[in-house]
Amino acid sequence: MTETTDNAPEAPRSDFIRDIVTQDLASGKNDSRVHTRFPPEPNGYLHIGHAKSICLNFGIAQEFGGLCNLRFDDTNPSKEEQEYVDSIKQDIRWLGFDWDDREFYASDYFEQLYQWAIELIRKGKAYVCDLTGEEVSKTRGSLTTKGQDSPYRNRSVEENLDLFTRMRAGEFADGSRTLRAKIDMASPNLNMRDPVMYRILRAEHHRTGNDWCIYPTYDWAHGQSDSIERITHSICTLEFENHRPLYDWFVRELGIYAPRQIEFARLNMTYTMLSKRRLLQLVQEKTVSGWDDPRMPTLSGYRRRGYTPESIRSFCRRIGVNKYDSTVDIALLEHCLREDLNRRAPRAMAVLDPIKVIIENYPTGQAEELDAVNNPEDPSAGSRKVPFSGELYIEREDFMENPPKKFFRLSPGREVRLRYAYFITCTGVEKNADGEITAVRCTYDPATRGGDAPDGRKVKATLHWVSAAHAVQAQVRLYDHLFAKPDPSDAPEGGDWKDNLNPDSLKIVQAQLEPSLAKARAGERFQFERLGYFCVDSVDSSDQPIFNRTATLKDTWAKEQKKTQ
């Protein structure tokens, strides 16, 4: 087995599932095959929780020389759409995984499932039930009491066959009958109390159109789909543990190949909502701009935000796999992102909240080009030219007229460095009638060109800047957590989860960029020095570039300020 090392963020690590696979391989089970599958329902976009499952299933197949299928569990046409199928395929590929030609659908197996249902009817193990949904629910019993047998439970095989055939033929109204497995209404496991296998539902299916008016339930379709595909390790989330006895029952009664199901805990993350139903709600109610809104925890949202697939894979490796509910700190995801982008993202200078700096002793009308390093972490990234002139923008928060003790940026009388340019010393400020600062006046030291003082004197701060005359305008979208609470489901008294939405999750600002950024292309990522990582939006466009803030840089000054608040 591969060693886990900190230097190899993509290296596989061991977990209880991989241990099981290793044991099965050692014992020669399944002829030493390893075959997994990722089985999404196409009823929404994939999110970071699915990434955990994708990395697990595809990752195990890769590590053990096996295969991983993509299978859409499309048994409920009333919720499923082709758009979701397409987005799911795109997102898995983006994450870096490939299923070759093994793209399957539960709907591929509808006819086989139907034949198997007939087989169970013939064996006396399934029956057509005329109870309404409400009646079925009433007779199911409770957690502590037994259910009651359906009055239709003992219909003859002939009658069941006849009715089931006519169900398929469309003779009965939606919801009027079901096919149920005949197991045990007294089972302490509610899933075994004669579960529904087929319901009558006239809805157009995204693949089978109107061929069917009866659809298999997930419980009836899932295990057999795995069996048909000869899946060796059927990995799913904890809530299906209770269903395992049912899947085993079906496969045993049918006498077909039995995959081994293994359950793991789904991902929870602070400040993040991972309920597909609620994400759908955010989209439908237009709380966000769509499934790919950069604040969404969907893979398409993260992609648009500027996350790299590598960072998400690294995250999935680090969180591990277990059988108990846990909540991962979103700071870990952000760490994985910064770790990756720090290595790869070219640097640039941008001012998000500009204040003008006038260099009093810089020759009027003059400009020059200075060399700037593209990526200090990667010498091969080279350097670029950045224009400098007597009127610049710096960040408003980089200047304070009356600075507190630990502030060591620009203030009256103080000297700082402009990155890759000159040392400047503040000589004063200009104010408007309301007393607001409209410009900062400075002098520069021509001897410090490039950013080093020949006399060896030091400054305590280095500021980013943009030449006013050369600046490129851009729209910058500053994102923060979509939810203001670590646990978004923790609703306030009398409220609901939507009350936890963060009102400041998006701020749009007009920024001044260094001119090299004018040619940035959609999806390109940069570090704006001292600010964070930014990515050119790949959906919206206008006459100016649009940048999404992927993440801020770690900011010890901001932390310091919080402490004193």
Residues numbered 245 to 284 that lie near RNA (CB under 7 A) are: 263, 265
Q: Which is nearer to RNA, 178 or 308 (CB)?
A: 178
Which run of H or E residues covers position 462?
A: strand 462-463
Question: Which residues within the stretch 495-534 sit at the binding site for RNA (CB under 7 A)?
Answer: 527, 529-530
Q: Which is nearer to RNA, 125 or 140 (CB)?
A: 140
Stretch of residues binding RNA (CB under 7 A), selected from 153-161, 183-191, 517-525, 543-551 = 183-191
Handedness of CA 21, 27, 30, 31 (dihedral sign): positive
Structural tokens at position 4: 């886990």
Question: Which residues within the stretch 381-400 sit at the binding site for RNA (CB under 7 A)?
Answer: none
Mask 74-103, x = binds RNA (CB under 7 A)? -xx--x------------------------
Regarding beta strands 525-528 and 532-536, do their DSSP bridges make them parallel or antiparallel, or are they unpaired? antiparallel
* 158 a catalytic residue: no
Question: Which residues within the stretch 342-361 sit at the binding site for RNA (CB under 7 A)?
Answer: 342, 347
Stretch of residues binding RNA (CB under 7 A), selected from 114-122, 174-182, 298-306, 429-437 = 174-182
* 266 a catalytic residue: yes
- How far is it, in rounded angstroms, from Cα 517 to Cα 473? 10
Point out the catalytic residue in the list 266, 318, 385, 449.
266
* 41 a catalytic residue: yes
Which run of H or E residues covers position 161?
A: helix 157-169
Q: Which residue, among 244, 232, 247, 261, has the nearest Cα to 36 in the 3D structure?
A: 232
Q: Which is nearer to RNA, 293 or 315 (CB)?
A: 315
Terminus-to-terminus CA distance in the chain, angstroms? 50
Applying CB under 7 A, among 67, 200, 254, 471 the residue interacting with RNA is 200
Mask 22-41, x = binds RNA (CB under 7 A)? -------------------x
- How far is it, in rounded angstroms, from Cα 119 to Cα 530? 68
What are the angstrom distances between the C-alpha of 299 and each of 1, 267, 307, 313, 539?
30, 14, 9, 12, 15
Q: Say if residues 19 and 28 touch (Cβ distance below 8 Å).
A: no
Single-letter amino acid, residue 508: I
Applying CB under 7 A, among 33, 125, 318, 396 the residue interacting with RNA is 318
Segments in 255-329 forming alpha helices (H): 276-284, 299-305, 309-319
Question: Which residues within the stretch 208-237 sit at the binding site for RNA (CB under 7 A)?
Answer: 215, 217-219, 222
What are the angstrom distances between the C-alpha of 203 and each of 41, 106, 134, 210?
16, 16, 21, 7
Applying CB under 7 A, among 27, 115, 144, 565 the residue interacting with RNA is 144
Indicate whether 137 belongs to the interface with RNA (CB under 7 A). Answer: yes
Q: Which is nearer to RNA, 203 or 358 (CB)?
A: 203
Classify burial at 366, counting beta carbons within 10 Å of its beta carbon; exposed 0-12, middle 13-18, buried 19 or more: exposed
Q: Which is nearer to RNA, 144 or 432 (CB)?
A: 144
Indicate whether 377 belongs to the interface with RNA (CB under 7 A). Answer: yes
Point out the catalytic residue in the list 18, 276, 317, 419.
276
Q: What are phi and psi of 533, to 5 degrees?
A: -105, 140
Indicate whether 190 belongs to the interface with RNA (CB under 7 A). Answer: yes
Indicate whether 414 belongs to the interface with RNA (CB under 7 A). Answer: no
- How far is it, in rounded angstroms, from Cα 466 to Cα 398? 13
Applying CB under 7 A, among 65, 124, 170, 188 the residue interacting with RNA is 188
Q: Which is nearer to RNA, 406 or 507 (CB)?
A: 406
Question: Which residues within the stretch 436-495 sit at the binding site for RNA (CB under 7 A)?
Answer: 450-452, 461-464
Is 112 in a helix, a strand, or coil? helix
Q: Which is nearer to RNA, 292 or 395 (CB)?
A: 395
Residues with a catalytic annotation lie at: 41, 266, 276
